[in-house]
Structure 1
């Protein structure tokens, strides 16, 4: 087919001889976290001269195969001069985004400028969302999402992307409204499901969250390994935080998280992230009984260094898991590797990621039972939210706040633990486990308030899932 000008899903022109990039389904798989996102790699096979085909393929493959991403960039470069303006700008922002020495602020500014000119490009907006997530800057992304919304009022994905920074900034009513709007436009939007669950979970509306998510779950079969297991992780966490029996968590872990690995196109590290996030929560709650074999099987998989250095969050959880099962030398090797990689970053990024290193060191000591060292590493004013730079949502990072509370109690600092736990209850007073921590702190102080805290925990445990079979 002769090369000619065609329009992509958003109405912007590209030079290509193939209709693959103009199909709605291709770009929608990116926005929907579809299982077949790798279809983006087929576009350069149909037209290896197409700048947009090569640059989108480069972005997709860059996290797992930087050298292959570079090859796509080089394949596109000779044709940039004669590409459309939209393609030229796409090449500029994506090639910088995946460059080894990028500055995150500059990468964001490039995307912001791009979206001023091409506000309907929701894949570019998704790239900016992910960039801001890993930069721990929901405030930056919120402004961008609001700016392009007038041009995307009928696009459900735009509202879903708007919902996430709102909830990350604690604007839960607005986040709920945006997520519901996305859901109204597309009831199969897994990101909208995810965002609404975040809100309900934060507000301790656990039963409502579980019922909503389980009702939506039939539409998740086509999702990527990450999104499928992550949505089920949220369901399991709602059961756990609401005080439901551990059996519900075990059932979800076995049938909807670990079982994902049986699929031929599963992406194991995406599954491991959610599996680890679940098991660490159980450990903090002293509920690993019956899960030790699962943790050992998972940890054996994590000795494969091909799973290392893909995600800071995954690496830190891996350090905990390997240490917990006695693989301390491997955990130390991973931690040393993170330190080495950090030392090679530019000064600005290196300074930011020192928090990631400290968190890795802290979970290493926590898993070894060295609670004094854990507290020294986290510091007296630890706030897990300050550590979101590892690439974790509020719910994902919160477990490290729970670890801090546990370490205070286990190190005998009951009075400090009481103050920390009370502050947690000011934000979320509907989590039974937090009241159990307060009960332990009071008991260590010999206070009769321990009985009152225990009563509150029992009341909440009975309340959240009282009518759930």
Structure 2
């Protein structure tokens, strides 16, 4: 019996099909473009169930309303070929079938069965973590990866998955250890690099984060658009904290918004970075209009609440009429979404969406009402805590703009405890303390701003 490169049994009937399976698994775990080769391989082998199931997976990861329709021909081929499939492959097809039908609880149940029997099926682990992440169930991510450790501890990507799960559970020491172990096994392990960047951002290790990511940039080769743009997004966040606004803008222009402009993850990364730049006081010019031209196709897109909220932000910021269409679609999802996710749409995504639109239209009391209602449960919509921090920043901006300065001071100083030298935070504090008639505190904050600027000027960094 043939096995894939991780040792899992496969029923493929040719060496070429096995090579395609291995290429997809390895490429998917490494976030490399070669994973997309599975489509041509499946088209050339319509009777190979595993090839076609994996091709369907790739289409479902499109994260778009038509993803299931695009996956359907491959899924049908996989189902039609099950007579030649082994038990693991039959379960893989069942997993993809449930996912395609938006039965995520059913898909997770199948994934559990696969991982219990074949704990070296790290592709299934990655997909299991993908769904857990989108539901904000970070302990489930950690639980699933931990159970594979005995069987697959030699695989660097497993330690990268462990690192990110630890980090999302706020177990930062464990996350750093797992990420560094992954990188000791394979320096080009982008998910471990990404997890370590999260740790450094969360701990306010800003200069160290810049040095780390810039030090591994040479490994960012052959990556898919999500991983490449997302690593640059993280680097841009470090630049923002340093006050290197032109470097952050350059990261947006030259890396974050240059690749798959129709893809969900590239779009939300661009939305998030532009919003953060503006909240830091940076003039982003006409970039919102350009971005919104691509977001316009998302006017009815409620595939995932976290994605929809950011599409909405971009459309509303650009003043596009599609923002109201998407808000209406979110309201429908709050009533009509599948049972397992409807409360999230109703109780979290909808008030957050209404708050975002109100903020962008200058109605700050309504913005605070909606966003503050959603924030305690915002993890349910998905996204990492670094990504969801954008909503906290918008609440802070609404507080300042509505002259609720005492509340803003509390929030800003708490944020400074996590990023003591952050230039945007300290600039905002200096301005806030002036308005609060606390000149001594304003002067101290301005001194921190000056030290941050002087530090980078002395090292020759771009401003």
Q: TM-score, normalised by structure 2?
A: 0.91
Structure 1 position 152, deviation (Å): 1.3
Q: Deviations over 1:379-433 (max 9, x none)?
A: 3x7647x313333211111011011111111111111222223333344434332
Matched, 1:301 2:294: yes
Structure 1 position 30, deviation (Å): 0.7
Structure 1 position 130, deviation (Å): 0.4
What is the distance in 1 between the residues matched to 2:146 and 2:385?
Answer: 21
What is the distance in 2 between the residues matched to 1:196 and 1:33?
Answer: 16
What is the distance in 2 between the residues matched to 1:187 and 1:309?
Answer: 37
Instruction: From 262, 266, 279, give the equivalent of 2:274.
Output: 279
Aligned residues: 453
Structure 1 position 363, deviation (Å): 1.4
**Quick check: 155-164 or 52-61, which moved more?**
52-61
The SS at the match of 1:347 is coil
Alignment of 1:26-425 (within 5 A): 26-62=24-60, 63-64=63-64, 65-100=67-102, 102-104=103-105, 106-244=106-244, 246-260=245-259, 268-287=263-282, 289=283, 291-305=284-298, 308-309=301-302, 311-327=304-320, 329-354=321-346, 355-379=348-372, 383=375, 386-425=377-416
Structure 1 position 307, deviation (Å): 9.1
In the superposition, relative to structure 1, how do residues 400 and 464 fare at CA in structure 2: closer, same or farther (>3 Å)? farther
**Quick check: 56-65 or 155-164, which moved more?**
56-65
In the superposition, relative to structure 1, how do residues 211 and 230 fare at CA in structure 2: closer, same or farther (>3 Å)? same
Q: Deviations over 1:293-343 (max 9, x none)?
A: 22221222322348944553343223222222322x221111112222343
The SS at the match of 1:11 is coil
Q: Deviations over 1:207-254 (max 9, x none)?
A: 22122212222222311111111111111110101222x111122122
**Quick check: 437-446 or 120-129, which moved more?**
437-446
Q: 8 Å contact 1:20–1:26 — kept in the other structure?
A: no
Q: Deviations over 1:28-85 (max 9, x none)?
A: 1111111232212233233322221222122211244312323322222243355211
What is the distance in 1 between the residues matched to 2:354 and 2:17?
Answer: 45
Q: 8 Å contact 2:330–2:345 — kept in the other structure?
A: no
The SS at the match of 1:348 is coil
Matched, 1:433 2:435: no
Q: 8 Å contact 1:115–1:148 — kept in the other structure?
A: yes
Q: 8 Å contact 1:14–1:84 — kept in the other structure?
A: yes
Q: 8 Å contact 1:206–1:464 — kept in the other structure?
A: no
What is the distance in 1 between the residues matched to 2:280 and 2:3?
Answer: 54
Q: 8 Å contact 1:57–1:69 — kept in the other structure?
A: yes
Instruction: From 426, 433, 442, give the equivalent of 1:442.
Output: 433
What is the distance in 2 between the residues matched to 1:319 and 1:462?
Answer: 38
The SS at the match of 1:223 is coil
Tell me how large the CA RMSD over aligned residues is: 2.3
Instruction: From 5, 8, 11, give the equivalent of 2:7.
Output: 11
What is the distance in 2 between the residues matched to 1:124 and 1:348?
Answer: 21
Structure 1 position 345, deviation (Å): 1.4
Structure 1 position 8, deviation (Å): 1.8
What is the distance in 2 between the residues matched to 1:313 and 1:233?
Answer: 17
Q: TM-score, normalised by structure 1?
A: 0.89
In the superposition, relative to structure 1, how do residues 307 and 28 fare at CA in structure 2: closer, same or farther (>3 Å)? farther
**Quick check: 432-441 or 301-310, which moved more?**
301-310
| Structure 1 residue ranges, 4+ long, deviating more than 6 angstroms after superposition | none
Q: Deviations over 1:249-278 (max 9, x none)?
A: 1221221123335xxxx7544322222111
Structure 1 position 135, deviation (Å): 0.9
In the superposition, relative to structure 1, how do residues 417 and 318 fare at CA in structure 2: closer, same or farther (>3 Å)? same
The SS at the match of 2:154 is coil
Q: Deviations over 1:108-132 (max 9, x none)?
A: 3332221111000110010011011
What is the distance in 2 between the residues matched to 1:306 and 1:359?
Answer: 17
